[in-house]
Amino acid sequence: AFTPRVFSGIQPSGGLTLGNYLGALKRFVDSQDRGIQSIYCMVDLHAITVWQDPEKLSRATRELCAGFIASGIDPARSILFNQSQVPEHAQMAWVFNCVARMGWMKRMTQFKDKAGKNAENASLGLFAYPALMAADILCYHATHVPVGEDQKQHLELTRDIATKFNHDYGVEFFPLTEPVIEGAATRVMSLRDGSKKMSKSDPSDMSRINMTDDADTIASKIRKARTDPDALPSEAKGLEDRPEARNLVNIYAALADMTVAQVLADVGGKQFSEFKPMLADLAVEKLSPISGEMARLMEQPDEIDAILRRGSDQARAIATPILEQTYDIMGI
């Protein structure tokens, strides 16, 4: 049996979005507060699978660390570090490149989405991304990974890699890690297109709420969010064919720590002209203390770097022996 341990990561490939906050960060704080050993990573090696400007990347990495802390991750209780500072991730990823099968990787929908029509011109790293993600998780024998719904397929691949490794070498060395995808906002959608997820890499800034947006920007993005002309239903099934409406209600529920049913019991029958300002007020109330704290932390970059350095030492203390045992099992 494996000791319960949580691992998760976020890419410093741009500023944090409300999707990252509700689908990931807020849930990371829940795991930490339940007292489970929690390891959180700025995954810069994932970010470079597509072009990153070096200066922007190092700033985004610090800002992401500030975002973790401002959201409630306590570096004294959780391990907070930057992926490239722990070389075991890249080393284990190579091992997993040799375990994973081409056919498995070709089925990954995120690669297809990100590579687009010109897949021949995508980096080899973008294709191999899920093997690095498996390494991130399995370097710590993590048993649980809180993530948004978009990562479900990658978690299945992580289990496939662990299963094949254990089977091929006749060991029970890697755990079969469980994704933890729960709450009202496991897939926050773009504010402009109810069929696309909100993402920090979407070219349209109006599609997302950034954690660093000020109150006016948040209110104006919510006011301009696409909706339909109908009033809000009083039960969840009334949202079934209304992706934009459902998205705004899900966001409200997650921000307010309520269920969708509870929210609709309160706001059912209201028009969006009335609901959107309520949502904007709630979003500003929850997000502005976080962005204020992020700005304060960003004025102390040395402090952030020191936290990340300490975190990488703590991470290596776990990952080094696991990589050594992996090599031993393989005879290398």
Which residues line the annotated binding site? 11-13, 19-20, 136, 148-150, 188, 197-201
Nearer to ligand ADP, 48 or 198 (CB): 198
Instruction: Provide, rounded to whole angstroms, the least separation between the CB of residue 21 and ligand ADP.
Output: 8
Neighbours of 137 (CB within 10 A): 31
Identify whether 270 is a catalytic site residue.
no
* Residues β-bridged to residue 9: 41
The binding site for ATP consists of 11-13, 19-20, 148-150, 188, 197-201
- Residue 329 CA to residue 216 CA, distance in Å, equals 57
Q: What is the Cα–Cα distance from 101 to 292, expressed in whole angstroms? A: 46
| Residue 188 or 318 with smaller CB distance to ligand ADP | 188
Residue of minimal CB distance from ligand ADP? 23
197 is catalytic: yes
Q: Which of 26, 197, 221, 276 is catalytic?
A: 197
Catalytic residue among 114, 152, 196, 270: 114
Sheet (strand 178-180) strand order? 79-82, 37-42, 5-10, 144-146, 178-180
**What DSSP assignment string belongs to 101-124?**
-HHHHHT-HHHHHHHTT-GGGS-H
Minimum distance from CB of 97 to ligand ADP (Å)? Answer: 20
Q: Which stretch binds ligand ADP (CB under 6 A): 133-141, 144-152, 268-276, 312-320?
A: 144-152
Name the DSSP class of 210.
B
Q: What is the footprint of ligand ADP within residues 192-221 (CB under 6 A)?
A: 197-201
- Distance between CA 8 and CA 41 in Å, rounded? 6
The amino acid that residue 151 corresponds to is Q
3-state secondary structure (DSSP) of residue 125: helix
Please tell me which residue in 112, 196, 200, 224 is annotated as part of the active site.
Answer: 200
17 touches ligand ADP by CB under 6 A? yes
Return d(Cα 174, Cα 100) in angstroms, integer: 14
What number of chain residues touch ligand ADP (CB under 6 A)? 22
The β-bridge partners of 39 are 7, 79
User: By CB under 6 A, what part of segment 20-59 binds ligand ADP?
Assistant: 20, 23-24
Q: Is 246 in the site for ligand ADP (CB under 6 A)?
A: no
Q: What is the largest CA-CA distance in the chain?
A: 66
Q: Is 187 in the site for ligand ADP (CB under 6 A)?
A: yes
Q: Is 114 a catalytic residue?
A: yes
DSSP secondary structure letter of residue 168? H
Sign, Cα dihedral of 292, 297, 299, 301: negative
| Contact flag: residue 19 with ligand ADP (CB under 6 A) | yes
Q: Which residues bind ligand ADP (CB under 6 A)?
A: 8, 10-11, 13, 17, 19-20, 23-24, 147-148, 150-151, 185-188, 197-201
Q: Any idea which residues carry the catalytic annotation?
A: 114, 197, 200
